[in-house]
Structure 1
């Protein structure tokens, strides 16, 4: 009798989860991914929920379906969604994962990635941020020691102090926007704790070296966000898939 009850509960849980989550096969995923075409599955919550938490088994299954080192999400998310992903990744510390979230819409009046949200997620290797995201909050990725690459979209416009504090192994920063006059929060302290000339910058919306004068201060592509870059690559000089694949 107990076995039947357990089986019944498992069936109900499976039905509930399947109603709350959807998978996209390769063809649909490629349509939605404008810059990356090798994420086999992207998962998203029901649109009627306007966000909410992912269940860990769904996240782990999606990682496995995408080759074991990538998690693709899309659709509508909110703060609860982001926190649930971080919590699930903390529970599998031996699995290194790249989070692909370009095609999500942040359902919050505040479009920033929440501060302190991914603290101590030590198995996150990289993140492709939502194109709708306009900022990264303070200490959002504190002590994410495996994080080596980030991709910032066209709407990214504000840097908070210590937004990447403690991400001491960050090596690749990709930016698809067109703003030059970033100050790196307060005089570059967005990158606090990251050694100078460690990171390489990839500017996907600039054809070559540029500079601008704002308020009497000169901002250039080579000192973008008040950091001394190891090297700067421009549009057509890099392949983002190569950057991600080297993390695996």
Structure 2
């Protein structure tokens, strides 16, 4: 046996898993048991491909907090907190946020702020860029430094041009991007393979993965194929929160670790079930 293999307990088994850097371990655990793994991008929103500019923005924010911070999305703030946490800067970042006048485009950033014990000083007149501009019209921005959390790859020229007209050079950060269309096509291919009964197991490790699968099915009018494919496939959930989400959406959950809700116990469940299936 190849020294890279642990055993052949999953030889001939085809397992679909969500694709992400964090789940490389799951793929390795399966592949070392000779499973064939399909990696599928079941995420609609991704961290910015280059983390360095985001981290630099956070460090500058901590060292010299701006006077104002414009938050356009709750997801953006959550991604910033995630980046700060990965570099042991979350507490410092939250302390810096507490010193700043925060202007939220809508209610979603406010919900994330509430989770860390903070609140926005004001919200846009409408949850749009125009609403933010309307709110800023009533504020004196003379000699104030303004930071702006952008999203996706949209530079939001409308807001940038407005701030420039007010004499403000904003400190911008874009902490996440939207998944490319090619990722949606890969998910579409997975749904078709599920419906063709080609996949032995599909694993889920977070609730958004389930939502993404359903959203792509709806986009390509494959909801019935997804329903049929999931009924033909052994569905594995990493823990009870994910299992509950699957059940709420009408999907059967075939296996889940009983106590320890991590990757290795999940793989052990798959091995046991694959053996029980006569392989």
The TM tier, using the shorter chain, reads under 0.3
More helix by share: 2
Q: Using CA pairs below 8 Å that are at least 6 residues apart, which structure has the higher relative contact order? A: 2
- Higher strand proportion (structure 1 or 2): 1
Structure-2-length-normalised TM-score: 0.23
Return the TM-score normalized by structure 1: 0.25
